[in-house]
Structures are given as structure tokens and as C-alpha cells.
Chains A and B, each alone.
Chain A
């Protein structure tokens, strides 16, 4: 379980998050809100990639490890970006294995096939380079990469923002399955009400403050 306790993020000219207190259980949670409302900041705070000005974040009672020049952040969290950020010069299989290696998780080719299968991609794609794949396929590889790390928390920042309707449906399906069947903590920042409706829970951020979803 993720616990945010009175988290505030303050810049000299804005306050993207203000006194946010929140508990996130295993399952799927959507975070909605207009641009600049603090959705991405919230995800970065949970991933340990940004320190709150005030407050604390913990996963299962243990404070989130902060990212630094020499550390990539908390290993219990995997982050999925809108622009996929697959390593362009590695194949799908290498992208997946690299993520596991960097978290020091033992994974094999069978695990790669399994991860691809879980996101609905054929194992024949394992030797493809990212640039030869469609946006939807690349995003599913990015989710598979998150699964390879074995992280219990998966954060997705606008994962369907650049995808068409069909691919949005597929990606949403994969994320919902991971939350419901595999009991991972899935947090999805999205503008898409359709995606949010499929989630177990929906939070709304307005001017950095948390409001119940309407």
C-alpha cells in the first residue's frame, strides 16, 4: 500500500501539490485533472524521482527511496512514460532484460516471452527494434518492461496520450488486468475519461489539491 502523508511541492512561483494525503491499495487508480494540476508531479513523488517540499511517501510502511545522480529511484516502482522511452538501439528482448538486470532481478528468455504474452504481444517481436513498431506496440513493450522488473507498483503517465482508440483500449485492458488479476498497485495519470472509467478508483487533482472524482 502506498501512503502519501501531507505532501506539498512548492516552487518559487507555483504550488503543484498542496497537502495531499492519500492511500493507494493494490488495483487500478486513475488520476485525472487539467494540465498543470499536478498529476505528473504526483507520480514523480511516488516514484522517488522528486522530493516533496513537505510531507512523506511510503510504500508498505517503508519510505520511498529518492532518485539521485547515482540512483535511479525506488526499485519497488516502475514508471511508464507517454513517449515510451524504450532504448532505441536495443531490441525488445534486450530492452526487457536490461530493465531486469538494472534491478538485479533474474530473468530469462522465457520470462521475456511471458511478459510479452501478458501485454498481448507475440514472442516473434522480441528481436524487433523499437523504431520498427507502432506506438501502441511500443507502449505495450514499455509495460512489459515494467513487469520484468517485478515492481509491485506501476505508475503510468499518460500512457495512451499518443495512441489511437484501438491501442488505447488494448493498453487500458492490459493495465486493468495487471491491477485486478495480479494485484499490483497501478496508478494511471490520464486525461481520457474513458480510461479513467475502466479503473477501480478515480482521483481528481485541481490546482494541486485532491478532490473526490465527480
Chain B
């Protein structure tokens, strides 16, 4: 330790002197980091578990292909670096006990599936890698003989290893090595490190889409997107906890700053320059906060690691380790350092402003008049903007932007208009005191009102637009459904079983026609008529008026239903019981033939689901040569009625069963959902900002008015008059925030022009938080201030 007093000894002496502050800041830093990082570690570990699970299930290979096409399968069997996997629901029997398992038969020992926890991977035919849960349930130990039956596959073997599925605690699988040349081994998917499209023999089936494949990166991305509900909910929780605790931390610093100012004054009296004195104190405080944060981060990671089994169990997962998120702690520490570095120029600025306030009282007398004038201009702009919103044709023009601009100006002016009114009806001396107190609060109330108007208007307008847009458009698929397209016909049965195992009951399947030679599309009869009248057979050249307005897919695919079934079509494409048909044979987007056909309306069709479904033996199928192409589209109709965990497991199962399929989820965030998310985020951010401004600004004023507060007590003022004084003072914030809220919704609603769809409720948050924070400031004002002496 240096013998210089101004070195570390000064820091240590400060820490000892400010023990309670040191402890509080350390504790806040600790809680801030442990909450943020702990939650982030749980989220990160859960996300990694999902990705690790899929990666292990694909044996670490880079590409996955699925097909039921015999020619493609023959080509695949002839390739050296391609590994086949046969997935089947089956049973495993050991020592008289039988249990259901997903059987994964592999033909080569070099393909290692699953996360090994004990023993070895299968190396010889008959070797079985069994999930821990199944082994425990059936009391199976390493080396025990087992019998496996799945579809046509029946084999006996020996358990050589145990595995876990990190994303599914209850997964029950058996990976068995079989003779890759046996007739029983019929892979449903193939894995390889080589791009399948590079294989000459596979290009044609891939082009004809009788075989589909995906890179594992795409699947991993899909797996990462396929978050269980709890993970989606957890996504913004660490940031939210960070913001809330950060506000608390800053508020504590603002309160403590009064004591630090005394310490700095003493250091200045000892001959230290202001920059050095403030820098020294803030560096010590930052150091304490960082120590707390580091300790909190380490403690959180240690706790999550120690309790990874129960924590992952709560999430129905099975973690073998944890994934430490680096972004959150780095961001937290960087933010702490940046804020502490900004605190020095901010302190300097405050000192300058304080001096300027004394020197420019004349200018300050002008400020209210300027603000009131700005408010008057704002009212005029707002009225002009609203008038433009109320255009008779219902479309607002560019001048409508004047409404929110005017609203912001009015919001900024409200406190300057309200402040003089607060002292009305009070005795002269009390009135002067109210005016004095209100004057210092005006800038804070003004900034808060601007934040409330800006964020509430944005949140309300965006939510309204999203709701209105969604109401005006037809759904892309049946509500609550999950659509899997281009799944091989061979995998459909497995998918049905998987869905039924997790509680699903309604499954609808359409076969996708072979479109190698021609593509048949369905549309409205009006569009077909337009094409015929315009003599142009490219739909791209038609005006918008030709297209059916309400259809989610104005030109849609035709698929095959069950033999003998009636023709059904998207109701938005039907006109007088008919739909239009267009046949495309070339690649230039020009229809080679136009026709129409009768169909019954089926509300389920349209959007991501086909626009027309015909029987394979129907006239349309025969006339346009529609034949099954080997893949299907499956609609899991009651998907959202499954539990969130079951939904997640079905989605994961689809990725495994049909890695080449494309999926569309009725619960996926649509553009409207994303708009609403943006609106909600703006609402929350506005609330946090309003809270921050009122708490920090109001708190600073409470501290600054300590002498006034003390004087009121010294004068013998009873609590009643003091409460009335505080109420009138804080009324400035309450009235400004409430008026700003009213102004925001009036602006968002175009002064009543927009009706019908909801504005949501989150636009209320910024103003409500500001009002709530105002009451906290009022309570702080009424507290007896501490004496000035340390």
C-alpha cells in the first residue's frame, strides 16, 4: 500500500467512512448482476440445450435429406459419406419389462447420435445406446441384453451406453446399430457433410422436390427460433431486471451524491482540483459497484451450475453443463463504466448550470413566457394536423405529422401553464412558497410530459394500426394450427403418431402434386376474366383491381385430397360457386391456359394452406394431369390446444422427422404481432424513462430543498399544512402527466376519427408510472431531512 494519503489509503478511508453506502452499493451491484446474469444464464443454457439436442440428433453432420423416392434412395445408398437413419416409434424389452421408445436405427458405427453420458457409442451390430430415463425405468444396466421392435424392424442387442436429450428431460430413445445392407433397414432421413445438391444423381429428385434437404445451420436456426413458451417469456426478463435494478442503483447514487458532495468540498478545501476530487470519489464508487457486480455474476453462475439439474428439470430439460452468457456481464460492466465516466461531465455541467442560474435570473423570467408561447403554437399545429387527419376520403396526408409535433410542444408547455395556477386560493406566503417550489419542478415535469406524449402516442398508434391491419386481412392459416409443408409421404404416419402421442387429435393431409411439367394455380374467376380481357397472360401485368381484395393468397396452389372427396376452395376466391384456374408450363410466369371449376367454400383453405383441393380421381386432376409428387402438406389443426411443452416437442419432432420440410405456425409472430411488440416495448421504455426522470429529478429536488423542508419543520408547521404544500407541489407532475396521457390518446385517435380496433393498454404505462413516481417524490418531500452536519 502506498504511503501517499491521496493514493489507495484515501479510497480505503472513504470505504470505511461510508460503510453503509459501500454496503448498499455493493449489494445493489451484486443483486443487479446476479439477477441479470442468473436469468440470462438460465435462458442461454436452455437455448444451448435445444441446439445441442438437435446437433446430437443429427450426429454433427452438416446436411439432412429426406425422400421417399425409390430412385433417390438408390442413389443415396451408393454414396460413401452419406449416413441413413431410420426413425420409428417402437418398444424395448429387457428382463420381461417393456417400454415405449423412439428407435433410431443406424447402419454405420461412425454416425454417433445422442449425447453420451456413460459407456460408449454403438460400435458393433446390436449395440444399443439407451436414454437414461428408459434405462432407469426398466432397471437396465450397461451390458444388459434388450429386444427392440419398431415397425418391420426387430432386433436383439446389448446396451453399451446411456444418453440424454438436453432439450427433453423425458425423451425415451434407443439408438441401435443394425446391418446397413439388410432389407429391414429403410432409412427415413440421410445425413452427410457433403451438400446433397453437389451429388449429380440427386439433382433431379431435388429439383422435382421429390427429395428435400436443409443445411444443419438452417435447422439449428429453426431450432433456436423454436423456443418453448417459457424461453420466449424469459427473453427480455434479464434486460427488464437490469433496467429496473439499474434505475434503483442510479436512484441510490443520486441520494448518496449529497454526502459525496460534502466529501468533495472537503477535498477541495485540502487543495484538490474539482476534476480530481470528483474523479477520485466516482472511481471509488464505481469500483465498489463493479466489485458487487463481479461477485454477483460469479455467484449467479455458480448457483446455476450447482443447481443445473433441478433448474433444467423445472424447464423439462436435462443440462449436462451451463452456457455462460458473455454479452450481459460485458454490457453491464461497460454500462457501469460509461455511466460513471459520464457522471463527471454531468457534474461539471450541473455546476455550470447552477452558476448560470444565479447569473441569468432575467433570462429565466423569460423562459415561462417562451414556453407558453411555444405551447400556443403547438395547439395551432395540433389543430392543423388533426384537421388533415380528418380528410373526408379517410386518408391522412403528410401534414398530419403536425399533430404529434404540436402535441409535443403542448406537452412541454403544460407545466409552465399549470405552475402559476397551483398557488391559487392559498395565503400569500404559502402561495409564494408553492410558486418557488413549482418553478424548480417545471423542467422535470416538462421533460416527463414530452416523454409521455411521445411514447404513449407511438404505442397507441402502432397498436391501433396493427389491430386494424390484422382485422382487415384474412388469416394465413386456420387459427391455432401448425402447417408442415413438403413432408415426405413416408414420414406422415410418424408425424401423426407423434402428434397423437402429445395429445393432438385433428390432422388434415393434402398431397402436393408433381409440378415437374406444369404448375396449376387457383385464383378468383374475376382475375381469370381480367387476364382474358387484357390479352396478357401474366398476372404481374394486371392492375390491383383485378385481384381479389380479401384473400391472403390471391393466387394459390392446388393440392390433392382424399379420393372421391368433393372439391373445396378458399371462400375468398369463390364467386358464384366457381374459382378460376391458371396453368403455368414455362418459367416466364405466363399462364398457358385459363379455366374455371366449381367448388364448395371451405374456411380452412387459403393463405399457407392450398386454395383448392381436388380428389385425385376428379375431372380437374385428370384434365390437368395432377399426380402425387411424394410429398404432402399436413395441417395440425388443434395445435395450440396442446400444452406449451407439447407444442415445443412436436416442433422439435418435426425438425427430426422431416428436416427438409417447411413449417408455418399459426402462433408465429406475424408482422402485426411484431408491430404490437414494438408498441409494447416503446410503452415499457417510456414508462421506465418517465419513472427515471421523475424519481431522479424529483429526488434531486427533494435533496436540494432540504433547507426549505427543515425550515418548515423548524417553523413548527404541522403535518397538515406541509402535506397540502407537498400536494400542491407534486400536483404539477400529476396534472402534467395526466394531461400528457389525454393529449397522447387524443392525438393517436385523430381526435376521435379512428374507432373500432383497440389501442391496447400499454400506452397508459408512461403516464401512470410518472404519476406513481410523483407520489414517491411527495412522500420523500415530507420526510424530515437529515442535518447538514456529517
Contact in complex: A12, B359 (CB < 8 Å): yes
In the assembled complex, the CB of B337 is this many whole angstroms from the nearest CB of chain A, namely 21
In the assembled complex, which residues on chain B have CB atoms less than 8 Å from the CB atom of A13?
361
Contact in complex: A94, B263 (CB < 8 Å): no
Query: Which of A11, A68, A87, A131 has the most CB atoms of chain B within a 10 A radius of its CB?
Result: A87
Query: Which chain B residue has the least Cβ–Cβ distance from A93?
Result: B5
In the assembled complex, which residues on chain A have CB atoms less than 8 Å from the CB atom of B266?
85-88
Q: Within the assembled complex, what's the spacing in Å between the Cα atoms of A80 and B16? A: 26
**Is A118 in the interface zone, CB < 8 Å from B?**
no
Query: Which chain A residue has the least Cβ–Cβ distance from B348?
Result: A69
Contact in complex: A149, B271 (CB < 8 Å): yes
In the assembled complex, which residues on chain B have CB atoms less than 8 Å from the CB atom of A12?
359-362
Contact with B along A50-85 (1 / 0, CB 8 A): 000000000000000001111110010011010001
**Is A211 in the interface zone, CB < 8 Å from B?**
no
Contact in complex: A72, B18 (CB < 8 Å): no
Q: Within the assembled complex, what's the spacing in Å between the Cα atoms of A127 and B152? A: 91
Within 8 A of A (CB), among B264-291: 265-276
**Is B398 in the interface zone, CB < 8 Å from A?**
no
Contact with B along A1-23 (1 / 0, CB 8 A): 00000000001110000000000
Segment of A26-34, A98-106, A166-174, A194-202 engaged in the interface with chain B: A98-106
Q: Find B265's partner among A85, A95, A149 (CB 8 Å cutoff).
A: A85
**Is B185 in the interface zone, CB < 8 Å from A?**
no
**Is A90 in the interface zone, CB < 8 Å from B?**
yes
Query: Which of A67, A90, A145 has the most CB atoms of chain B within a 10 A radius of its CB?
Result: A90
Q: Within the assembled complex, what's the spacing in Å between the Cα atoms of A145 and B262? A: 18
Q: Within the assembled complex, what's the spacing in Å between the Cα atoms of A192 and B63? A: 94
Segment of B6-14, B72-80, B496-504 engaged in the interface with chain A: B6-14
Q: Find B6's partner among A68, A72, A75, A102 (CB 8 Å cutoff).
A: A102
Contact in complex: B14, A89 (CB < 8 Å): yes
Contact in complex: B270, A69 (CB < 8 Å): no
Q: Within the assembled complex, what's the spacing in Å between the Cα atoms of A131 and B17? A: 11
**Chain B at the A interface: SS class:** helix
**Is B540 in the interface zone, CB < 8 Å from A?**
no
Query: Which of A12, A78, A103 has the most CB atoms of chain B within a 10 A radius of its CB?
Result: A12
Contact with A along B1-30 (1 / 0, CB 8 A): 000111001100110111000000000000
**Chain A at the B interface: SS class:** loop
In the assembled complex, which residues on chain B have CB atoms less than 8 Å from the CB atom of A11?
358-359
Which size class do A's interface residues fall under?
Answer: 20 to 34
**Is B544 in the interface zone, CB < 8 Å from A?**
no
**Is B790 in the interface zone, CB < 8 Å from A?**
yes
In the assembled complex, which residues on chain A have CB atoms less than 8 Å from the CB atom of B263?
87-89
Query: Which chain A residue has the least Cβ–Cβ distance from B9?
Result: A94
**Is A97 in the interface zone, CB < 8 Å from B?**
yes
Contact in complex: A87, B359 (CB < 8 Å): no
In the assembled complex, which residues on chain B have CB atoms less than 8 Å from the CB atom of A67?
273
Whether A71 touches B360, Cβ cut-off 8 Å, given contacts A97-B5, A102-B6, is no
In the assembled complex, which residues on chain A have CB atoms less than 8 Å from the CB atom of B269?
79, 81, 85-86, 142
Query: Which chain B residue has the least Cβ–Cβ distance from A70?
Result: B275
Q: Within the assembled complex, what's the spacing in Å between the Cα atoms of A98 and B362? A: 42
In the assembled complex, which residues on chain B have CB atoms less than 8 Å from the CB atom of A99?
270-271
Q: Within the assembled complex, what's the spacing in Å between the Cα atoms of A72 and B273? A: 4
Q: Within the assembled complex, what's the spacing in Å between the Cα atoms of A131 and B790? A: 8
In the assembled complex, the CB of B352 is this many whole angstroms from the nearest CB of chain A, namely 9
Query: Which of B5, B262, B265 has the most CB atoms of chain A within a 10 A radius of its CB?
Result: B5
In the assembled complex, the CB of B569 is this many whole angstroms from the nearest CB of chain A, namely 78
Q: Within the assembled complex, what's the spacing in Å between the Cα atoms of A111 and B272? A: 20
In the assembled complex, which residues on chain A have CB atoms less than 8 Å from the CB atom of B359?
11-12
In the assembled complex, which residues on chain A have CB atoms less than 8 Å from the CB atom of B9?
94
Q: Within the assembled complex, what's the spacing in Å between the Cα atoms of A67 and B269? A: 12
In the assembled complex, which residues on chain A have CB atoms less than 8 Å from the CB atom of B275?
69-70
Contact with A along B252-268 (1 / 0, CB 8 A): 00000000001101111
Q: Find B270's partner among A70, A75, A98, A131 (CB 8 Å cutoff).
A: A98
Query: Which chain B residue has the least Cβ–Cβ distance from A105?
Result: B271
Q: Within the assembled complex, what's the spacing in Å between the Cα atoms of A11 and B262? A: 26
Q: Find A94's partner among B13, B274, B361 (CB 8 Å cutoff).
A: B13
In the assembled complex, the CB of B380 is this many whole angstroms from the nearest CB of chain A, namely 34
Whether A102 touches B16, Cβ cut-off 8 Å, given contacts A11-B359, A70-B275, A131-B790, is no
Known: A69-B348, A99-B270, A103-B271. 19 other contacts (CB 8 A): A12-B359, A12-B362, A69-B274, A69-B275, A70-B274, A72-B268, A75-B271, A79-B269, A85-B265, A86-B269, A87-B266, A88-B263, A90-B5, A90-B10, A90-B13, A95-B270, A98-B5, A98-B10, A98-B270
Q: List 7 A-B contacts (CB under 8 A).
A: A70-B274, A79-B269, A85-B270, A88-B17, A90-B10, A99-B270, A131-B790
